[in-house]
Amino acid sequence: MTIRMHWGAAVAAAYLTFASATMAFVVFAMRRPVDLVSTDYYAASLREDQQMDAIRNAQDLREAASVMQSGARMVMVALPAVQASAARGTVTLYRASNASEDRVITLAPDATGHQQVSLEGLQSGLWSVRVRWTAQGRDFYLEQRVIAQ
């Protein structure tokens, strides 16, 4: 005894399989969190020229600014000593995978231009340390990736 399938039933089975798989994917996609990289992404894109100027300003400094990881849970931000007293800005700990984990810290370097930033309380993984500051009437920007362990 052999089971024979009519070609119409085979087409219907193929269509039902395709439609079920499509619906399963739609349900899966609708349940995924949708976090934008930034809540004001359009306004941020308009500030792109200012951002590029700030990056160029940071690269053109005689004494380079830097972000270095010192240990598993500490980051050292170093600005040029001549800018240390006049520098005003922020240090942003940015997590690309979850915008709600981002942290913004006020930039407060010591007289030598150094500031330690603790990574305590942050999830382990890849973070971007974004330093934005203004000194002597110019904007500066530096970004470095670190791994919190």
**Structural domains for the chain:** 47-148 (2.60.40.10)
pLDDT classification of 36: cutoffs 50, 70, 90: low
Mean pLDDT over residues 109-114, rounded?
Answer: 90
Q: What is the 3-state secondary structure (H, E, C) of 15-74?
A: HHHHHHHHHHHHHHHHHCCCCCCCCCHHHHHHCHHHHHHHHHHHHCCCCCCEEEECCCCE
Q: What is the pTM of this model?
A: 0.69
- Res. 25: pLDDT tops 90: yes
- Res. 41: pLDDT tops 80: no
* Residues 6 or more apart in contact with residue 46 via CB below 8 angstroms: none
Quote the pLDDT of residue 49.
86
